[in-house]
Structure 1
Amino acid sequence: MDVLNPFYASRILMVDDAPVNLKLLRKMLEKEGYIGLEEILDPRQVVERYQAHRPDLILLDLNMPHLNGYQVMEQLFALKDPLLPPIIILTAQNSREYLIQALEMGARDYITKPFDRTELLIRVRNSLEAYYSFRITYDQKSLLEEKVAERTKELHDTRLEVIRRLGRAAEFRDNETGMHVIRMSQFSALIAQSMGWDQEAADLLLNASPMHDIGKIGIPDHILLKPGRFTDDEMKIMQTHAQIGADLLAGDDSPLFKMAREIALTHHEKWNGTGYPHGLKGEEIPMTGRIVAVADVFDALTSERPYKKAWTLEAAVALIRQEAGAHFDPEVVKHFELCLPQILAARDEHRDQYMTQTES
């Protein structure tokens, strides 16, 4: 007996309705040094005992009352356990059809009774060795998957932080407090959820929409910060911020940056085709741009700034409703109104120093 063999500590589950057979198995295996042996006389207990003790090998008889070996295997495989241990069939049935059926169902090996002690021990050892090799590979794969998932999350978080910081930087240049991008992104996600978007897609919109005006970084200060109305030439320059933003966000194929680019490019398009930069009309405008257009305008109207007073909620909602079918997608406006209580709650949660209670 090789006492240094690590397989001797393996947990082996022995299933047979005949006590004499279990006694013989135990005697053979204990003599070889195996110590983790467990006997089951009633096959109806196999699944419960398996889940409780997680054996490394199962020795299974075929002909048993209540459940035969095939039925026991069906129950075990139904667990869909990726680490289900090998099953060795020990049976007096030496017919080829029994052997084929057992192997087709997933048994690792098949030994007929009366079995040779040496053969049994070799097959037990080989099955355990194969199982432990599989466990090592599985554990390494799981560790690798964890590291990949961790690294993917780090990259996602980095992209997200870049999106947020650049989005706020663009707003600060435009005499904003930085809270505008937080509010309008919250509004956008709420509208999207009302329209049936799942949580993952709504979260993506929440995280991508803060970059909607990143292109303002490329607009000269004397235009961007001008307190009065723009001249026609100044307006043309101002409108280039949509394309500038899209160009700044190009080159990254992650879903986050792709959506952020789409929003930057299209949130100034209008439902009736009079928007910019490309004069898209109706459903030519991506849904992300249509949603953000409503969220962005609503927050801009209801926010007070050093250079303007905030609109009342009633006036702002009336304008949004009035522009349905002109500036805005009517369906988006409908869902804006449906989730208006949640939008107002988000607005109250993220107020800035210039915002005052102007609602009547």
Structure 2
Amino acid sequence: MDKQIVLVVDDTPDNIDVMSGILRPDYKVKAALSGAKALKIAASTPKPEIILLDVMMPEMDGYEVCKRLKADSITADIPIIFVTAMNAEEDETYGLELGAVDYITKPVRPSIVKARIKTQLALYYQNRHLEKTVQERTESLISTQLEIIRRLGRAAEFKDNETGLHVIRMSHYSRLMAESMDDVSEKWSNLVFNAAPMHDIGKIGIPDSILLKPGKLDDQEWQLMRKHPEFGAHIIGEHESELLIMAREIALAHHEKWDGSGYPYGLKGEDIPLSARIIAIADVFDALTTERPYKKAWSVKEAVALIDEESGKHFDPSLVAIFHEVMPEILDIKEQYAEAQQADN
């Protein structure tokens, strides 16, 4: 097993020789005679597991070296032990406040140095193990939450779409559009993708007799159908989760229209959340090009023509332009997740 690496930083060669003599039987020792050299070694690969750092050095003292190490994400997690002749309580307190894990005063005693290093390395590896465990459990929880959201989205779609592939396709369409925008982050695009399946969760509150009706809805049926965005918002509820916040705004606003003629609130233009404006195009395109109980599937050409016609009315014109930009990728997704019946035709 490779020896753990200890970086010893001291501007006095004799002090480095003393410390090296103490540590070499158990550790691989690297040395730096200046703060600048220490920063370079600490950031190199492989990184030292722990740093023994003198305080009183010319040009850049140990406190400044510690500050810079802790400010750099590459070296911030390396444990630092100050080794110095400065033994005043305020000196030790200041060093610990900067992020050091321990403070050894000179002249050093070999048994103390070895014991302190062994203890701090054990704590370091224990913390790394705990952090890894927490990260794995967090990732597992997030994965479970996302799967629940997708399943709930599909549950809503099963009421008027036998396979539930609609939510998969339109989620990918939405992600493609979001990723092509200049002023949104990758994190936000992923939120759109993961929240999109919940856009029609409110359909759970709509009777099957309405959702599956093969003909046109009468006025009373249509009024009830128009309530599904609000039903969806109530189902999702109020949460601190960024994902559920976006899922709620999408569920509530994906039937609003750019010109203000949509529902449930008649929002207009940029008053409609950007996420919902993206979903509106993705949802309508997929709905048009998929067979439903009340209609045959439109061709891609026909669906695109309608979206172009509704640019500035139903849809945000800038997003319609982006929709055209990503059309090749959209068609790839459409083919990949085609309905079985359509794929056979």
Q: TM-score, normalised by structure 1?
A: 0.74
- Asked if structure 2 preserves the Cα contact closer than 8 Å seen for 1:10 and 1:36, the reply is no
- Report the equivalent of 1:115: none
- Report the equivalent of 2:297: 310
Structure 1, unaligned runs of 5 or more? 1-8, 63-67, 112-118
Q: Does 1:334 align with 2:334?
A: no
Q: 1:181 aligns with which of 167, 173, 186?
A: 167
- Asked if structure 1 preserves the Cα contact closer than 8 Å seen for 2:152 and 2:201, the reply is yes
Q: Is the partner of 2:213 in helix, strand or coil?
A: coil
Structure 2, unaligned runs of 5 or more? none
* Deviation string, structure 1 residues 184-205 (Cα, Å, up to 9, x no partner): 0000001111113322211111
Please report how far the alpha carbon of residue 298 of structure 1 lies from its aligned counterpart in structure 2 after TM superposition: 0.5
- Asked if structure 1 preserves the Cα contact closer than 8 Å seen for 2:50 and 2:78, the reply is no
Q: Does 1:35 align with 2:22?
A: no
* Deviation string, structure 1 residues 233-292 (Cα, Å, up to 9, x no partner): 110001111111111111433122211111111100111111111111111110111000
Q: Is the partner of 2:304 in helix, strand or coil?
A: helix
- Corresponding letter in the other structure for 1:155: L
Cα 1:17–1:218 shift into 2, 3 Å: closer
Please report how far the alpha carbon of residue 61 of structure 1 lies from its aligned counterpart in structure 2 after TM superposition: 11
Percent identity for Structure 1 against Structure 2: 40
Please report how far the alpha carbon of residue 315 of structure 1 lies from its aligned counterpart in structure 2 after TM superposition: 1.5
Across the two proteins, how many residue pairs are aligned to each other? 324
Q: Does 1:86 align with 2:73?
A: no
Q: How does 1:47-62 map to 2 (within 5 A)?
A: 54=48, 58=52
Q: How does 1:179-328 map to 2 (within 5 A)?
A: 179-196=165-182, 197-305=184-292, 307-328=294-315
Q: Distance in 2 between matches of 1:251 and 1:334?
A: 33
Please report how far the alpha carbon of residue 313 of structure 1 lies from its aligned counterpart in structure 2 after TM superposition: 1.6
- Corresponding letter in the other structure for 1:163: I
Q: Distance in 1 between matches of 2:343 and 2:258?
A: 31
- Shifted more, 250-259 versus 128-137: the winner is 128-137
- Report the equivalent of 1:114: none
- Asked if structure 1 preserves the Cα contact closer than 8 Å seen for 2:213 and 2:294, the reply is no
- Report the equivalent of 1:116: none
Q: Does 1:151 align with 2:137?
A: yes
Please report how far the alpha carbon of residue 348 of structure 1 lies from its aligned counterpart in structure 2 after TM superposition: 1.2
Q: Distance in 1 between matches of 2:240 and 2:49?
A: 46
Cα 1:61–1:304 shift into 2, 3 Å: closer
Q: Is the partner of 2:133 in helix, strand or coil?
A: helix
* Deviation string, structure 1 residues 69-105 (Cα, Å, up to 9, x no partner): 7669677975553325435358xxx9xxxx99xx899
Cα 1:132–1:234 shift into 2, 3 Å: same
- Corresponding letter in the other structure for 2:25: I
Q: Distance in 1 between matches of 2:164 and 2:216?
A: 23
Q: Distance in 1 between matches of 2:16 and 2:202?
A: 77
Q: Distance in 2 between matches of 1:189 and 1:26?
A: 56
- Asked if structure 2 preserves the Cα contact closer than 8 Å seen for 1:182 and 1:350, the reply is yes
- Report the equivalent of 1:3: none
- Asked if structure 2 preserves the Cα contact closer than 8 Å seen for 1:304 and 1:354, the reply is no
Q: Distance in 2 between matches of 1:327 and 1:47?
A: 58
Q: Is the partner of 2:259 in helix, strand or coil?
A: coil
Please report how far the alpha carbon of residue 177 of structure 1 lies from its aligned counterpart in structure 2 after TM superposition: 2.1
Q: Is the partner of 1:252 in helix, strand or coil?
A: coil
Q: TM-score, normalised by structure 2?
A: 0.77
- Asked if structure 1 preserves the Cα contact closer than 8 Å seen for 2:166 and 2:286, the reply is yes
Q: Distance in 2 between matches of 1:164 and 1:201?
A: 18
Please report how far the alpha carbon of residue 131 of structure 1 lies from its aligned counterpart in structure 2 after TM superposition: 4.1
Q: Does 1:168 align with 2:174?
A: no
Cα RMSD for the two superposed structures: 4.0
- Asked if structure 1 preserves the Cα contact closer than 8 Å seen for 2:84 and 2:104, the reply is yes
Q: Is the partner of 2:286 in helix, strand or coil?
A: helix
Cα 1:109–1:322 shift into 2, 3 Å: same
- Corresponding letter in the other structure for 1:158: T
Please report how far the alpha carbon of residue 54 of structure 1 lies from its aligned counterpart in structure 2 after TM superposition: 3.9
Q: Distance in 1 between matches of 2:26 and 2:9?
A: 11
- Corresponding letter in the other structure for 1:153: E
Q: Is the partner of 1:355 in helix, strand or coil?
A: helix
Please report how far the alpha carbon of residue 154 of structure 1 lies from its aligned counterpart in structure 2 after TM superposition: 2.4
